Amino acid sequence: MTKYVFVTGGVLSGLGKGITTASIGLILKSMGYSVTAIKIDPYVNVDAGTMNPYMHGEVFVTDDGGETDLDIGHYERFLDTSLSKDHNITTGKIYMEVITKERKGEYLGQTVQIIPHVTDEIKQKIRDVARKTSADIVLAEIGGTVGDIESLPFLEAIRQMRLEEGPTNAIFVHVVLVPKLSTTSEFKTKPAQHSFQELRRIGIQPDVIVARSESPITPSVVGKLALFGNVRVDEVVNSYDVDPVYDVPRILMEQGLGRILAHKLALEHRTPDLGKWIEFTERYRNASKAVSIAMVGKYTALRDSYLSIIEALKHAGTHLGVKPRLEWIESTDVERGKIDVRDVLENVGGAVVLPGFGSRGVEGKISVIKAFRESGKPVLGICFGLQLMVVEFARNVLGLERANTTEVDPNTPHPVVDLLEIQRFTIVKGGSMRLGALLIKISEGTLAHRIYRTDFIYERHRHRYHINPQYLDRFESSGYIVSGVSPEGYPEIMELTNHRFYFGTQAHPEFKSRPLRPSPVFTEFMRSLLHS
Ligand code: GLN
């Protein structure tokens, strides 16, 4: 029978609840239990795919083509598992389901209400995951903060689940921020006290409290949190800031969280084995060498927009014993002359041309790409990054004037990147891109083959445009070859033969990178920087 751990948050969002949930998952997994995780996002969007990364951070893509919240990425990385789109539940999904059922007449004769119809649907979706995965433990993190209007139906649903499943089969972990005043260096528990009250008003009593703080909190603060949170002192654990975040499971385990959870869930306690994981964090910290990388994009103000890429670089770097030092290059600043491309080139070993959408900042990216290609320094292009590398090559090597992607210039005389055929008939914006893990055939004797060491791979996709095969002869005869291709014949990977590492991929290898199993693309990119 599946047990549930519900994780709620207090005081403010962006606390690191996702990392806490993932860490709890890893501790339980390391105790030998099978664990999976769900993220509940109380917004009305059906999925994260239609949201600006500036608002919401990266859109994480699952194998089955879900466009999900970035916390799903944390769960995949910590639990070393692949989750499906069902693991991201939103208000939009719930309402769509309820309204569809109402129209079909499934509630005939009834008044359809938040309680019980919406809450039943929420419970159903959570239990569906339990049934499909047959996990010993399902973690469910409720996004946002207690007290948000949007969260209420979800909190009510998990309150009911505790009652229905029984107190040792469904437990509550509440994550709160404990700020420290810089003037007095004092930790303040008042905001946490308010959030305990709010939670109790809804009918939820936490079993475990996780205090998030900048630095370790003192025993008297722990005591206060226990008192106001109505738990025992040993049921309060402290998640203070650590680098890398992969160290959070260790600090929570050392405070006995594994034992507390086992006790609360009436499970046998087995000492969590985090050996390899701890080794990874030590290797990360001990990396003596650093390499500088230009991160070229247009959402650089919010680093979460590129979260999985940053993590993939860390995984690969740690594997090789080097630290990636990221220099963020806002491509609109390049266009405005605020950033000089020559300075960028001088200061870094290589560049990642980041994914993206739309025309803003495109010319800035193209000028950075040109400088790097000519310099011979390593470049890794991801999705839009590859597409713009192709545009740059078309213009500056093949001499195709005003070559472009039709996403940026629908009237270009040389559409070297163009809309996928099926997209011409696609009107709906949500969930309609080419999505998820798709097959790519790798050509022998290429850099791509040296990277993947196999003929067929699956990587995750999220795009509407693709490299136009009509121009391929011209590219290939100039040494810019296709080394990976989709079963439909779309170019998936392109590389320059006379360059150390000039590699672009239509897919997003970052989504499959894990701390202990880095993506080979990122590892090879980092390796090429070491030999620069
Ligand atoms: N905008 C491009 C496309 O839709 C690239 C998308 C991306 O970088 N993920 O094809």
- Domain of residue 193, CATH code: 3.40.50.300
Residues 6+ positions from 129 with CB-CB distance below 8 Å:
36, 38, 86, 87, 135, 138
Ligand 1 pocket check for 27: Cβ under 6 Å: no
Ligand 1 pocket check for 461: Cβ under 6 Å: no
Q: How far is the CA of 407 from the centre of ligand 1 (A)?
A: 9
pLDDT at 185: 86
Q: How far is the CA of 359 from the centre of ligand 1 (A)?
A: 11
Q: How far is the CA of 354 from the centre of ligand 1 (A)?
A: 10
- For tokens 């620069």, what's the residue? 532
Whether residue 162 is found in the same domain as residue 52: yes
Whether residue 62 is found in the same domain as residue 119: yes
Whether residue 294 is found in the same domain as residue 275: no
Domain count across the chain:
2
- Domain of residue 523, CATH code: 3.40.50.880
Q: Tell me the average pLDDT of the chain.
A: 95
- SS3 label, residue 358: coil
Q: How far is the CA of 523 from the centre of ligand 1 (A)?
A: 23
Q: Is the pLDDT of residue 23 over 80?
A: yes
Integer CA distances (angstroms), 280 to 275, 417, 430, 475, in order: 9, 40, 38, 41
**pLDDT tens by residue, 254-307:** 999 999 999 999 999 999 899 999 999 999 999 989 999 999 998 777 778 899
Q: How far is the CA of 388 from the centre of ligand 1 (A)?
A: 10
- DSSP assignment of 134-151: --SEEEEEE-S-TT-TTT
> Considering 212, 246, 279, which residue would you say is the last residue of a domain?
279
Whether residue 89 is found in the same domain as residue 180: yes
Ligand 1 pocket check for 384: Cβ under 6 Å: yes
> Considering 255, 279, 303, which residue would you say is the last residue of a domain?
279
Residue 490, Ramachandran bin (φ over 0: left; ψ between -120 and 50: alpha; else beta): beta
> Considering 248, 279, 310, which residue would you say is the last residue of a domain?
279
Whether residue 508 is found in the same domain as residue 386: yes
Whether residue 274 is found in the same domain as residue 294: no
**pLDDT tens by residue, 44-99:** 999 999 888 777 889 999 999 999 999 999 999 999 999 999 999 999 999 999 99
Whether residue 222 is found in the same domain as residue 353: no
Domain span including residue 330: 287-530
Best substitution site from 357, 391, 417 to test ligand 1's pocket, by max atoms within 8 Å of Cβ?
357
Whether residue 76 is found in the same domain as residue 206: yes
Integer CA distances (angstroms), 103 to 106, 109, 228, 465, in order: 8, 12, 46, 36
Ligand 1 pocket check for 407: Cβ under 6 Å: yes
Whether residue 241 is found in the same domain as residue 300: no
Q: How far is the CA of 465 from the centre of ligand 1 (A)?
A: 6
Whether residue 390 is found in the same domain as residue 518: yes
Whether residue 187 is found in the same domain as residue 251: yes
Q: Are 310 and 326 in contact (CB under 8 A)?
A: yes
pLDDT at 57: 87
- Burial label for 527, CB within 10 Å (0-12, 13-18, 19+), is middle
Alpha carbon distance 503, 487 (integer Å): 20
**pLDDT tens by residue, 289-298:** 999 999 999 8
- Residues with catalytic function: 383, 508, 510
pLDDT at 532: 65
Query: Among the atoms of ligand 1, which is closest to the Cα of residue 356?
Result: 8
Residue 494 confidence class, pLDDT cut points 50, 70, 90: very high
What tokens were used for 513? 């990178």
Residues 6+ positions from 459 with CB-CB distance below 8 Å:
437, 438, 440, 492, 505, 507, 508, 509, 511, 512
Query: Ligand 1: which residue has its CA nearest to atom 1?
Result: 357
Whether residue 319 is found in the same domain as residue 268: no
Ligand 1 pocket check for 514: Cβ under 6 Å: no
pLDDT at 448: 98
Best substitution site from 59, 407, 459, 506 to test ligand 1's pocket, by max atoms within 8 Å of Cβ?
407
Percentage of the chain beyond pLDDT 70 is 100
Query: Among the atoms of ligand 1, which is closest to the Cα of residue 383?
Result: 8
Best substitution site from 50, 308, 463 to test ligand 1's pocket, by max atoms within 8 Å of Cβ?
463
